[in-house]
């Protein structure tokens, strides 16, 4: 039986990533209907887990009875003390912790490149982190965490990704995340790892 999971995002890249990974499990991925018209949840948590749970619980109230998946993800750069972290999507703002909306991917990438300009290539280690929370009726049912370790390039590469994907080089396969197909990204990415854990949970609940 086909099962549907609604994702609390309007990001076409995320929906594509999730959809590619869910198809073999017989699970259909869709955005929450009229998602853009729903009141926006303020992501003011200090951890990825807090933000993911806050979003999943709030948005699940808009679609009673449905499983709702929300994620919070970001880039942790060792040379920057773990920044941008939970502020990854707003990093180009003057005060990322206080910004009310996301900043453009290109601007976020540009800030990272500026801050890493004097950092040697071997010290540009970083990881993508993703935490998924699944909720129904305003209650969190479970959370799932995935990571991917890599290094940051000084020039973007690839056209397929979003966010910091063009800078994030994955040594295991010799490509940036923006050079991966949807299937490859589902296999190797932080979001793919967290989502596979969610799919296994789905299969047993």
Sequential DSSP letters for 159-170: SS--TTTTTEEE
Among the listed residues 17, 71, 72, 105, the single catalytic one is: 72
Collapsing DSSP to helix, strand or coil, 157 comes out as coil
Please name the residues in contact with 92: beta carbons below 8 A apart, sequence gap of 6 or more.
Answer: 103, 104, 107, 108, 110, 111
72 classed as catalytic: yes
Residue 191 CA to residue 128 CA, distance in Å, equals: 8
The pair of structure tokens assigned to 120 is 């040697």
Which uninterrupted H or E stretch holds 27?
Answer: strand 27-31
Write down the residue that tokens 């609604």 correspond to.
6
Collapsing DSSP to helix, strand or coil, 137 comes out as coil
The answer to whether residues 121 and 151 touch, using CB atoms and an 8 Å cutoff, is: yes
Taking CA 99 as the corner, what is the angle to CA 95 and CA 104, rounded to the nearest 5 degrees?
A: 95
Handedness of CA 92, 84, 149, 196 (dihedral sign): negative
Residue 79 CA to residue 38 CA, distance in Å, equals: 37
Indicate which residues carry an active-site annotation. Answer: 72
């Amino acid at each position: 039986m086909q099962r549907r999971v609604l994702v609390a995002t309007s990001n076409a890249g995320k929906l594509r990533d999730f959809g590619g990974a869910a198809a073999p499990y017989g699970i259909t991925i869709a955005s929450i209907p009229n998602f853009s018209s729903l009141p926006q949840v303020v992501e003011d948590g200090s951890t990825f887990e807090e933000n993911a749970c806050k979003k999943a619980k709030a948005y699940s109230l808009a679609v009673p009875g449905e499983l709702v998946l929300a994620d919070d993800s970001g880039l942790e750069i060792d040379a920057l003390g773990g920044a941008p972290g939970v502020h990854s999507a707003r990093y180009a703002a003057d005060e990322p912790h206080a910004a009310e909306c996301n900043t453009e991917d290109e601007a976020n990438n540009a800030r990272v490149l500026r801050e890493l300009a004097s950092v040697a290539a071997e010290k540009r280690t970083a990881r993508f982190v993703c935490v998924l929370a699944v909720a129904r009726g305003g209650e969190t049912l479970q959370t799932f965490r995935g990571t991917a370790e890599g290094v940051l390039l000084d020039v973007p590469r690839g056209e397929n990704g979003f966010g910091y994907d063009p800078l994030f080089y994955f040594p295991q396969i010799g490509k940036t995340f923006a050079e991966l197909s949807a299937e490859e990204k589902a296999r190797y990415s932080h979001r793919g790892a967290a989502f596979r854990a969610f799919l296994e949970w789905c299969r047993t609940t």
